[in-house]
Structure 1
Amino acid sequence: MSDIQVLLIEDDELLGGALLQRLRLEGITTQWVQSCAQAVEVFRRTRMRPAFLLADIRLPDGSGEDLYRRLIPHLSNTTVVFATAYGDIAQAVRLVSAGANDYLTKPYDTDALVARIRSVIAAQPAGQQDEVLENPYALHDETYPLAQELERLATSALPVLLEGETGSGKDRAARYVHARSAYAAGPFVAVNCATLASDLIESLLFGHVKGAYSGAGAARDGLFSQAEGGTLYLDEVAELTPRAQAALLGVLENGQYRPLGDSTARHTHCRILASTCADLPAAMAQGTFRADLFYRLAVARVAAPPLRKRPGALPSLARSLLAAQSATGATLSPDAIQALHDHPWPGNVRELKNRIARAVVMADGAQVHAEDLFPESKLADKPDLATTRLDAEQRAIQQAIAESGGHMGLAAKRLGISRTTLWKKLRAARDGG
């Protein structure tokens, strides 16, 4: 964790050193770096974000625009101010237009700067370090283009469809998009579409008034009403039944819905995000997913890569998760890093997070070793009957899902079980039971 209140990015040693000393004398925790690369490394290493960032517009390894482009996925609620000489004012103006808060011309009034920093720090909520505000793809150059794409989409109002394997970080990305959007002050309402009962879909989505149908003894808000002013996140959207797809499409087309039993239509004021692990174009070709609904949801599509396809990001992501779980500053041993690379990660980021959480509890000392992350390796030569049966069952389930293009309904049909039973088995495997 970092408790930095101010990050100073200045390559002039005289100016940087003097300002660092002044801020520290004022009791403001400050870190000073002298290049773009060092600044990016600070953000990747720490999870808490500084309240204030002051950066020179000319650095040895890039311009202010280079720096801002690389830091955007990390900035969250940080106030960003650039310091510029007269000749670079045009670039400073462009940076403010791109989202930076302000610029100062050198030489600037240090007393006024300190007063401004104090007011920014005072206005920021204590302990501003919510993990949701961390761009999930900003930890490594390998996924940095995706981090920048997610940042641009977050600040728009476009519907976004997040695609990728189970556990690949789609939920975390959705929460980040909400937190960085104009809808952040409103609620984030997440619903697993596989759990929406078809015979109650209109009531679940739109709500109902008292007496709307037999058993409706009281009025109830639907999901669109609950998400008013915020974000409605439709997880596993491929699992929507045909009736649910038709009901959802109607709202997306005209922006209105009507609670059951109510004669007055209401306008919806929420952003729609959706996710799926299925191949929706294939589902459209098979006639199981409506093309018109797909094009309403997929105005912007983001492909969340599985963990095995971003090996370079694996150590950074593991260290970030470890820092979030460990209060004692635990580290990863070399054999743990190697074991991370050797594992195929069928459960993706969710599996990594769970393994890190368990390892922190079970590790002896301040270092996490390979056997802490993969305790099953010690039992690999002693499989019991129950484990063998469960492993075979999970292999059959994963094969059926793959052969069904990720569509859980089709996979359940192939396996001869209900969709509810399939979800229960997947949840039990994910939770280790």
Structure 2
Amino acid sequence: MARILIIDDDASFRESLAETLSGLGHELFLATDGARGLSFLKRGGIDAVFLDFRLPDMTGMDGLRAIKRLPGDTPPVVMLTAYTSVDNTIEAMKLGAFEHLAKPVGRQAVENTLGAALASSSRTIRQNPVPGEGEFIARSERMRETLKLIGRAAASEATVLITGETGSGKEIVARALHQHSARASHPFVAINCVAIPHELLESELFGHVRGAFTGAAAAHAGIFAQAEGGTLLLNEIGDMSVTLQAKLLRVLAEGVIVPLGAEHAQAVNVHLLAATHRDLEQQVAEGRFREDLFYRLNVINIHVPPLRERREDIIPLAEHFLAMASDTPKALSAEARQYLEMHSWPGNVRELRNVIERAMILARGASIEAGDLGLVKTPAPLALPAGVPLMSDLPRALAQLEEMMIRAAIAETGGNRTEAPRRLGIRRQLLYAKLRQYGIEP
């Protein structure tokens, strides 16, 4: 039995949560505002806290800060809110909340979260004010989990590897990491490694001195120097040459750069983020990416799910882009919304933004109709796969359906050995076994 404190001024929700926790065998303490909650905590003996974001005398965030300032080990805090946003999710996790739950909360979610919280140890996380949420739109559970990971990572100086398909929003994640970090008042610099020729990328990264090469008429400060004290994003790092990878490894290991033509190393202080749409583990296996660099970069991995896997975000994103495109944005018709929600979005958020901007220009009426989007209507749901008769025995039918889904995932991902099992919801080792079983060449 644990001693649980609930701090919430909503009597109905507070009593419901208390009933659930009491039914799980725990001892309950109830507070209707932050001051009463803190007085319970100062007496000691509380094992976990459920804290609402909106309280009569303070915000839940102020309450969380006050809890974390209490002397000694503080109990894990589960934040509760009926109004989820990018800011409150990231900030809560950064300040040390154990979890962030959206009301209403089911009994199973309460039980699972509390069990994990009681088994956890205290964590110390820096506290820093943060700016607004920018273009980060997140309503789906997949993206809410990503936000929580951003909040935890933003409180750390560890290198972060951001993975995801092209157009999924990796740079937005990187900017959120910077904005919610202790380096927010310093520069955020991003460079796309695939957009710069390999022979010029080294100079862009590390800079050069005057006369370092033909045409170097003046010294040039590279982006490491430009990002001093702040955050540097190396986008599409999977396309960096192996030779340059070795030099980047030295920067990570020693914290110094050597500009082209310089005789002495120069110390740098940046928080390095890397992003890629490629499967770096596969590239390591093929000798196209250094294994030691991969492990240096992949201290924390944040995967940005493709838009088709977070369909709850499609309409909020579309409305956000509509608002950005005009001071008097047009509304989406019901049919247009259906088309947007059913589209597969191979180009992800970037494709959605382009579709909305084009529709705003082409639509003649007061609202955007399905025809203005330029999208092909999604076909009806698939029937049983060919070759599986309706009266077939179930094991055979399931095996054929499994094979069809695996072949489709391999085809859609171009044989990507990380993305294919992720889409199928299985482990990579199981996928390999199934490929052998069905004789499928990845």
Fold shared per TM-score above 0.5: yes
SS of corresponding position for 1:220: coil
1:250 & 1:98 partners in 2: Cα distance?
28
SS of corresponding position for 2:249: helix
Gaps of 5+ in 2: 1-7, 12-50, 64-75, 96-123, 378-409, 419-442
Q: Give the root-mean-square deviation of aligned CA atoms.
A: 4.1
Does 2:347 match 1:344?
A: no
Residue of structure 1 in register with 2:268 after alignment: 268
Residue of structure 1 in register with 2:173 after alignment: 173
Shift of 1:403: 5.1
Residue pair 2:343, 2:375 contacting (<8 A) in 1 also: no
Shift of 1:367: 2.4
Shift of 1:251: 0.6
Residue of structure 2 in register with 1:390 after alignment: none
Q: 1:359 and 1:129, CA in 2 relative to 1: closer, same or farther beyond 3 A?
A: farther
SS of corresponding position for 1:131: coil
1:261 & 1:350 partners in 2: Cα distance?
40
2:144 & 2:126 partners in 1: Cα distance?
19
Residue of structure 2 in register with 1:67 after alignment: 80
Q: 1:372 and 1:281, CA in 2 relative to 1: closer, same or farther beyond 3 A?
A: same
1:367 & 1:186 partners in 2: Cα distance?
42
Residue pair 1:73, 1:151 contacting (<8 A) in 2 also: no
1:100 & 1:203 partners in 2: Cα distance?
36
Shift of 1:151: 2.0
How many residue pairs match? The answer is: 300
Residue pair 2:233, 2:273 contacting (<8 A) in 1 also: yes
Q: 1:400 and 1:320, CA in 2 relative to 1: closer, same or farther beyond 3 A?
A: closer
Q: 1:275 and 1:185, CA in 2 relative to 1: closer, same or farther beyond 3 A?
A: same
2:133 & 2:149 partners in 1: Cα distance?
21
2:233 & 2:160 partners in 1: Cα distance?
10
2:229 & 2:237 partners in 1: Cα distance?
21
Residue of structure 1 in register with 2:414 after alignment: 402
One-letter amino acid of the structure 2 residue matched with residue 359 of structure 1 = A
Q: 1:54 and 1:163, CA in 2 relative to 1: closer, same or farther beyond 3 A?
A: closer
2:294 & 2:179 partners in 1: Cα distance?
24
Does 2:367 match 1:355?
A: no
Aligned counterparts, 1:12-411, within 5 A:
65-67=78-80, 71=84, 73-75=86-88, 131-132=134-135, 134=136, 136=137, 138-374=138-374, 402=414
Cα deviations across residues 68-99 of structure 1 (Å, max 9, x unaligned)?
69857324899x9xxxxxxxxxxxxxxxx878
Cα deviations across residues 238-262 of structure 1 (Å, max 9, x unaligned)?
1001111111111111111122232
Q: 1:193 and 1:99, CA in 2 relative to 1: closer, same or farther beyond 3 A?
A: closer
SS of corresponding position for 2:79: helix
Shift of 1:224: 0.7
SS of corresponding position for 2:162: strand
SS of corresponding position for 1:210: coil
1:98 & 1:335 partners in 2: Cα distance?
46
One-letter amino acid of the structure 1 residue matched with residue 350 of structure 2 = R
One-letter amino acid of the structure 1 residue matched with residue 134 of structure 2 = E
Residue pair 2:142, 2:305 contacting (<8 A) in 1 also: no
Shift of 1:142: 4.1
Q: 1:66 and 1:100, CA in 2 relative to 1: closer, same or farther beyond 3 A?
A: farther
TM-score with structure 2 setting the length: 0.58
Shift of 1:200: 3.7
2:349 & 2:177 partners in 1: Cα distance?
18
Shift of 1:235: 0.8
Q: 1:362 and 1:298, CA in 2 relative to 1: closer, same or farther beyond 3 A?
A: same
Residue of structure 2 in register with 1:115 after alignment: none
One-letter amino acid of the structure 1 residue matched with residue 268 of structure 2 = T
Name whichever structure is richer in helix by fraction: 1
Gaps of 5+ in 1: 1-8, 13-34, 40-51, 58-62, 81-96, 102-119, 378-397, 407-433
Q: 1:228 and 1:56, CA in 2 relative to 1: closer, same or farther beyond 3 A?
A: closer
2:231 & 2:296 partners in 1: Cα distance?
16
Residue pair 2:52, 2:81 contacting (<8 A) in 1 also: no
TM-score with structure 1 setting the length: 0.59
1:99 & 1:366 partners in 2: Cα distance?
48
1:173 & 1:235 partners in 2: Cα distance?
12
Shift of 1:401: 8.5
1:216 & 1:326 partners in 2: Cα distance?
44
Residue pair 2:255, 2:267 contacting (<8 A) in 1 also: yes
